[in-house]
Structure 1
Amino acid sequence: MDNPMLAERLDAFAALLELNGSGFYTTRAYRRAAELIRSTPADVASIVRAGRVRELKGIGPGIEARLRELVETGELSELRELEAEVMPELVGVGRLIGLSPTRMRELGTALDVRTLAALREAVAAGRLEGVRGIGPKTAEKIRAGLTGLEDVRPRRGVLLSRARALGGEIAAALEGEPAGDPRRWCDLSSRFAVVVRDPAALDFFASLPQIVSVLERDEDRAVGVTVEGIPVEVIAATPESFGTVLVHATGSPEYVASLGPLPERATELEVYSSIGCPFRPPELREVDAADPPPDLLELDHIRGDLHMHSTASDGKATVLQLALAARELGYEYIAICDHTKAVRVVEGLDADGLRRQAEEIGAVNEELAPFRILRGSEC
């Protein structure tokens, strides 16, 4: 089992744990482990077999045990058990149409259904009226939602960090390019899209652990829904039209409309060049194309970092190491703000420790001038 597959299984497990009421920190630990595995160049399965996976930062005994089961058997028994208990397909669809996970699980149990197709059959057969707690208004809401499911916009979006990770995971699995709201770095994302070059990716789409149900499918397009209740559109583009499709799929719809008719081109740069419009990065595609874009903040504009921790509390580098690394990045200054004893979550500095650190910082400032370390503390 390769790294992307291991990461996908952990992401799916995290989503189900969240639905099942597990704490924020537990689900976050599994998602961070998935991100770590996805970014690790070495083969993580080999590291697991060698008994060294705990050497990777953030991998504790619980995650290690589940990784070992995945590597040795290709399956995760708890994942199957949670799928049966949580009913992710119904939960994802329910969130999309505005019904809570609890209500959808109750509905699935009452109707003895676990899938969207089975739910639609039960609704068409008039079985909703016999479900306890489902009144006429809720029944009509379910019927209306299922009828126009492909066009429903979710009531709540996904926060940027999760949206970027989710969109990236799906795009990587399909060997495509992420688009939609996450590509524009929207604070909340409710419109996800991926543009692929190979139409065969549409067949693989339904098997992704992030997708609990496929709502629509035709020759060059598919729409699925995640367990968060977010629709994801996958579009297959020809090599000649890939750039044009990517512009449309990235949006925003208002911005794309302001560009006018777009010719088919292989890249976004070619699209912009052909219509005589300066290229805009995705995060600036929210306003009318005729409006002048603002200047973007770039990495070389950053002059310093005003909150860093050293090994004096819960950091991983010494004062000198932090200063040298920051100077290597082109920074002119940093501020070291280690925890004090007043913060009881970690071992912090007392008054004597702060004085010693002040002396250490002063010595490093003399050595590395004109680079400057500012002193602070997190109380």
Structure 2
Amino acid sequence: MDKADIVEVLEEIAVLLELKGENPFKIRAYQTGARALETMEEDLGELIESGELGSVKGIGSALVDKIETLYETGELEYYTKLRDSVAPGLIEMLDIPGLGGKKVKRLHDELDVDTVEGLKSACEVGKVAALKGFGKKSEEKILSGIENREAYAKRHLWWRAREVAEPILAGLRELPQVERAEVAGSLRRLKETVGDLDFIVASSEPEKVMDWFTSREEVREVTAKGKTKSSVRFESGLQADLRVVPAAQFAFALHHFTGSKDHNVAMRQRALSKGYSLSEWGIKKSEGESESEGVSRSEATTRPGAAERETGPGEGVGITSEKDLFAFLGLPEIPPELREGMGELELEKIPDLVSKDRIRGVFHNHTTASDGRATIEEMAAAAQDLGWDYLGLADHSKASYQANGLDDERVLKQIEEIRAFNESGESPVHVFAGIECDILRDGSLDLEDGTLQALDYTVMSVHSSFSQSEEEMTARVIKAIEHPGTTMLGHPTGRLLLRREPFKINLQKVIDAAIANRVIIEINANPRRLDMDWRLWRRAANKGLMCAINPDAHRTEGLDYFEAGVNVARKGGLSRDQILNCRDVKGVQKWFEERE
């Protein structure tokens, strides 16, 4: 295990001990040890090899053995037994916003609930509201969290879904029976969350392809297996469907099972206007039937015989790619990420969408100075590995005390460290000195004006008081945007995908204020945030809003999240000119200087 993984284990041990009602000092020892390990700058392997790990303040002798065992073996019997000793339902309760180890233990001890379902029942009859320290509002928040959890259980983060899909797609393409294979559906459209996976294969030997697909080791359940379609479910609950079609139908099937329902309806209407009937099986001269209302994907695949239907592409013979299909209908090729039925067929010109290779660096990243798990040097080295020219570091400010936020003195010290790093010539990556400064409840900022002015740039974010009304939150954020020290607005709705709903805020007013004050709004590329939402970007950018793609990385591996941010930018129709990250170092410096 590496240092970051070990920190996570120590943090989870502390929570599990809370659930079991262990001695507070013992709990605090693991919390302190995790923090000490997280923030130390020395190499963990070297400290272990030299026997000096125990000299690190906050890491006692009892923790030394456990950390060394985790580092060397990746396992810890104490942790495994502790986790097994706690009811799984209590651990699941920790996923409900607002519930930590202490609260879950109280709910278990006083109401005898040990499952999410039991907790829901207790809330519905008012038992939780009656508990001292909870009340009606807490009960309502818990119920809302449970309801969201149930709804979200059917969706999966794009980032995680891709990790499942990529080896399957690679395996399909290696099969000798497979002529062509692609992933379709919402994963291919780069949606922020994915319901299930769709694979489309061209083959004349579908049975062998189905056998390979349904017998994979990671498959927990085969929910359906036919000659040309099979469905499986994985341990995570994610379902995957495989459809095998003749090569002549591949382009049509891929297009159909990629596009949203609204996109497919628009395409069928387009075909009808030209005298053709379009479906997942092909395109042919229309026989006069009306398809203006369209047929949904579920209807198309559940009609008797639909999955086994064999019909040629008719008048579409010669269409071997989606590009051919769009051209046949007099359209430019529409990228998969734009196929949402949001006017993409009416675009006069397909935008030159930003791509990963256009990104020259990123902003809003954390180091061990606050709650990050890598040093300035380590983050810069990771940026260099990605081929970037620069990296922005923006640790938390002091109001985020739980994240070891920096006060004014520590911010100024970090600026000096970053300047010294740049002057040393140690790395070809230029490091910009920034901060993620809390927007306080009244819209004021968490640091002195002089401190903000000393930085290269700032990211202003809301981390507290999420329950404010829409009017209060909007006024709060706009007040921060109007402050001359503000460069960027971070994760503007505070949402956590599949876990926490966005706080109430009028984003149109916020966008207008950002444009008026030349403030950037970020695409927070953390796969759980992807905030600001892609649906808002095309119009906002066309009005003059500048975007920055920020991975909000707390470790070196987190820098890879920038790709998810590029997905959002592409879905939002953004080109390189509308994204600060596509500028070189001098271009970024010029932006920062000119807006002052």
TM-score norm. by structure 2 comes to: 0.33
Which one has the largest radius of gyration?
Answer: 2
TM-score norm. by structure 1 comes to: 0.48
